[in-house]
Amino acid sequence: MDPSRSITRFSRPSSVKCAIFDTDLTAGIVVTENNHIFCQNCSAELHKSFNVCPTCGSQTFAESPPQGPANFTSSNPSLDKSPDAQPAGLGWYFAVLKKYAEFGGRAQRAEFWFFQLFNFIVSVGLGVLDGIFFTTEVLSEGLGPIALIYLIGVFLPTLGVSVRRLHDTGRSGWWFLLYFIPIVGLIVFLVFNVQDSQSTANKFGPNPKSSR
């Protein structure tokens, strides 16, 4: 912007409120001759009619962009898209699949149990498809081919997240063999997996809840 260009400042009332957002519509806005303002949070160039930056949610504006890189820190937490943010819900399922055959490190309870939940849902859904597309004779021999192919495909991610969950509680992945002991082993394995993460780093890595 040409520094020699004069800046026209408009007086504004002391309080102009938006009935929807309950915010001062004129707060922090300086209008230039070309009717554009700059968000001081993310450097976006906006028309003077904007009261909230659509990029980051900030309400702080000026006649020139801020010096240095934009930080994109939003005043609205729902607008923040941090690359280090932990997954939620279905995101954990895909996070485990991305670590397809990874057995090192730790996995917190949310990662393990959300994966198990959506893995079960997908398996049931594919079983229904097997019942639709294949005959009773085929299904009477065991799992249908669609569900069977899926379960083979997710075997390594399932084993990996189970081992990492044991690591998260300070145990060796070899404890996974308890799973194959009828009843008692399954119960012990279940108890291990409902335990919370060790609060500090252990020999398998840092606490996954604090390392993001």
Domain boundary pick from 75, 110, 137: 75
Statement to judge: residues 94 and 54 lie in one domain:
no
Statement to judge: residues 63 and 118 lie in one domain:
no
pLDDT surpasses 90 at 110:
yes
Provide the domain limits for residue 59: 1-75
Segment 185-207 shows an average pLDDT of 92
The domain total for the chain is 2
Residue 98 lies inside a defined structural domain of this protein: yes
Segment 73-99 shows an average pLDDT of 70
What SS3 class is residue 62?
strand
Statement to judge: residues 57 and 94 lie in one domain:
no
Q: Quick one: which of 156, 153, 157, 135 has its CA closest to 144?
A: 135
Per residue in 5-23, pLDDT (tens digit) is: 444 444 444 444 444 444 4
Quote the pLDDT of residue 61: 61
Statement to judge: residues 57 and 1 lie in one domain:
yes
Torsion of CA 164, 110, 177, 192, to 10 degrees: 110
Tell whether pTM > 0.75. Answer: no
Statement to judge: residues 38 and 98 lie in one domain:
no
How many percent of the chain have pLDDT more than 90? 42
More confident call, 191 vs 32: 191
- Please measure the distance between the N-terminal and C-terminal CA atoms of the chain and give it in whole angstroms: 40
Residue 82 lies inside a defined structural domain of this protein: no
Per residue in 166-176, pLDDT (tens digit) is: 999 999 999 99
Residue 176 lies inside a defined structural domain of this protein: yes
pLDDT band (50, 70, 90) for residue 64: low
Statement to judge: residues 117 and 48 lie in one domain:
no
